[in-house]
Amino acid sequence: MRKTLLFLASLCSGLFLHAQTNIISTAPLAEQVMLGNYNPATYLASVVRNHPDTISRGILARISPDSLRSYIITLAGFYNRNTGSDTVSSALGIGVARRWIYQKFQQFSAANESRLIPSYLQFDQQICSMNQHRDIFAVLPAIDTTDKRIILIEGHIDSRCEGLCDSLCQAMGVEDNASGTALVLELARVMSHYSYNHPVVFLVTIGEEQGLYGAEAFADYVQQKGITVKAVQNNDVIGGIICGQTSSAPSCPGDGAIDSTGVRLFSSGSFNSKHKGYARFVKLEYKEMLRPFVTVPMDIRIMSPEDRTGRSGDHVPFRAHGYTAMRFTSANEHGDANVSNVNYADRQHSTRDTLGVDTDNDQVIDSFFVDFNYLARNAVINGNAAGMAGIGPKTPDFQLTGWIGDLVIHVTQQTQYLHYRIGVRTTTNDWDSVYTLIGGLDDTLDVPPSTTYYVSIASVDTNGIESLFSNEYLVTNVGITEPAAETQGYALMQNRPNPFDEATWIGVNVERVPKCRQAEIRITDLQGRKVKSIPLELKTGLNEVLYEHGYGASGTYMYSLVLDGKTMMTKTMVFAN
């Protein structure tokens, strides 16, 4: 094993050297718009369409499965889009694929009064023996520069087969990730028809398969330039509906299973996570703005981990740079990408990730692996969230007090609004209820007894659109008594979500830090056999660890807070899949 690891380290050092350098936007105007250094009147549409209903219903009506289909067929036709593939051919490789994306952005701009500004983000880094690379992006200027933060919708264009840097194999990369690239293109086409208070950036990255390099370059770039970011929506493996023999947990139930109405939202953190808060915002805006009007309602699932087990994506570099970021991924994936397994037969990261099959032998694909209607529904969810974030008001702050059976809310910042929304949750990643505060800054919510309530608020403008939600605060033991917390200064919290599928958050709320050398969360089965121990550093406030159980082993488990080898508190949790 040691020899293998040393060999891999040596191999990788020759393929991926140093960090990104010489990062530049090839269109200086795109950079200036993202910095807010422009006159909005220059890019004002002749007809300004910025009412939330107009934007939301327009995106729903204009997103086209046929357009998505055409983009994906074209992308698959480049045969191999590996980051290290051909850059000069007019037919094959990453170079022609990048130029085609750029030309599509130009085409969409021409159809919308030249308001969309395309550019490359060029950077130097040795990846797959190639030294210079380019992301492709387009910037839609805002109608106001008061708040310069950009909203970014991204998906990676590079593909791969079994070999990480194989630039000659068939690597159509249809599900991974022509689907995400097509979604970004379609939203650039449709959203350019409308106007927003924030610049919207449509980003197509490269280098994802080798280590998120294109996203890392863009995150480095915006940070170095002082470009501020409101939210990042990453789309990766977002069009398939068929489960493979394998899939990265938490995923699908088994080979051939179909899910055309579920989509997973992955994001970092748990309590007071702005990333989870944004995922909840995405779901709320869909539920209230779109769900009454759609023909096929979508089940939006807010997942516990930042990504699938052992996997990652282009939202991660943005989160690591401090920006709000999350990922959209299909409910079902065809494979866990473990191409080192000689028995691996699924599509992801293989030559089999193609358009589909010709079932009647007429030399025409008639059964596609990507469901274009499903992909369109996911594009609508993306566009609606970005659109509402792009026109919403400022985020407030508040004070929270728990009382016997009550939550007491007092708005302290951004007090100019007439309405506020109050999101309250207990044991899941989503809100249990969202309340509306009308005509004041104070409210008292009558709530059922619970060990813990997590609360955040949003401003609401005159058009009824929420801001992004505030920091999340918690109160404990509302309407109940938990002596351990009072006498010992700390309490083991109920895991969230519970029941859970593949991962769950376990927390310890600390008022007084206990004197101990070592703290851990210990998970056992009902027979007392240890399943896992997770080290925990106790500080004042809520301390959380993510327990990733795996997939396909349902049952009831116990988890305990253990200090210096002594079990202090124990609770029960249910693993449901």
Residue type for position 444? T
Q: Which helix (H) or strand (E) holds 137?
A: strand 130-140
CA distance linking residue 455 with residue 470, whole number of Å: 9
Residue 543 pairs in a beta bridge with: 508
Range(s) within the chain of domains with CATH label 3.40.630.10: 21-391
pLDDT band at 73 (very low <50, low <70, confident <90, very high): very high
pLDDT band at 575 (very low <50, low <70, confident <90, very high): confident
Tell me the per-residue pLDDT of 278-307, one tens digit each, with 9 for 90 and over: 999 999 999 999 999 999 999 999 999 999
Tell me the per-residue pLDDT of 349-368, one tens digit each, with 9 for 90 and over: 999 999 999 999 998 999 99
Over residues 6-23, mean pLDDT? 56
Contact between 82 and 92 under an 8 Å Cβ cutoff? The reply is no
Average pLDDT in the chain? 92
- Backbone φ and ψ of 576, nearest 5°: -100, -5
Over residues 169-182, mean pLDDT? 98
CA distance linking residue 382 with residue 457, whole number of Å: 22
Q: Tokens 């600390």 — which residue?
A: 510
Q: Which helix (H) or strand (E) holds 485?
A: helix 483-488
CA distance linking residue 219 with residue 223, whole number of Å: 6
Tell me the per-residue pLDDT of 34-62, one tens digit each, with 9 for 90 and over: 999 999 999 999 999 999 999 999 999 99
- Backbone φ and ψ of 312, nearest 5°: -155, 180
Contact between 17 and 207 under an 8 Å Cβ cutoff? The reply is no
What stretches of 371-463 show up as alpha helix (H) in DSSP? 372-391
Helix-then-strand count for the chain, H and E: 12, 25
Question: What are the residues whose beta carbons fall under 8 Å from the beta carbon of 116, sequence distance 6 or more?
Answer: 105, 108, 109, 138, 139, 140, 188, 192
CATH topology of domain 397-478: Immunoglobulin-like (2.60.40)
- Backbone φ and ψ of 416, nearest 5°: -80, -10
CA distance linking residue 261 with residue 295, whole number of Å: 11
What is the torsional sign of CA 150, 156, 158, 160? positive
Asked whether residue 482 carries a pLDDT value surpassing 60, the answer given is: no
Range(s) within the chain of domains with CATH label 2.60.40.1930: 483-575
Over residues 237-246, mean pLDDT? 96
Q: DSSP class of residue 465?
A: P
Task: Report the predicted TM-score, pTM, of the whole model to 2 decimal places.
Answer: 0.90
Q: What angle do CA 376, 379, 382 make, to 5 degrees?
A: 160
Question: What are the residues whose beta carbons fall under 8 Å from the beta carbon of 428, sequence distance 6 or more?
Answer: 496, 497, 498
CA distance linking residue 74 with residue 481, whole number of Å: 62
b/e for 227-255, b at 16 or more Cβ within 10 A? bbbbbbbbbbbbbbbbbbebbbbbbbeee
Kindly report the CATH class assigned to 21-391: alpha beta
Instruction: Identify the CATH assignment for 483-575 out of 3.40.630.30, 2.60.40.1930, 1.25.40.10, 3.40.50.300.
Output: 2.60.40.1930
Q: What angle do CA 523, 505, 478 make, to 5 degrees?
A: 105
Q: How far is CA 530 from CA 451, 489, 520, 576, in A?
A: 26, 26, 13, 19
Tell me, what's the pLDDT at 448? 83
Residue type for position 424? V
Query: Which of 571, 560, 430, 577 has its CA nearest to residue 497?
Result: 430
Tell me, what's the pLDDT at 479? 56
Least confident stretch, 151-155, 387-391, 481-485: 481-485
Encoded tokens for 63: 């997103």
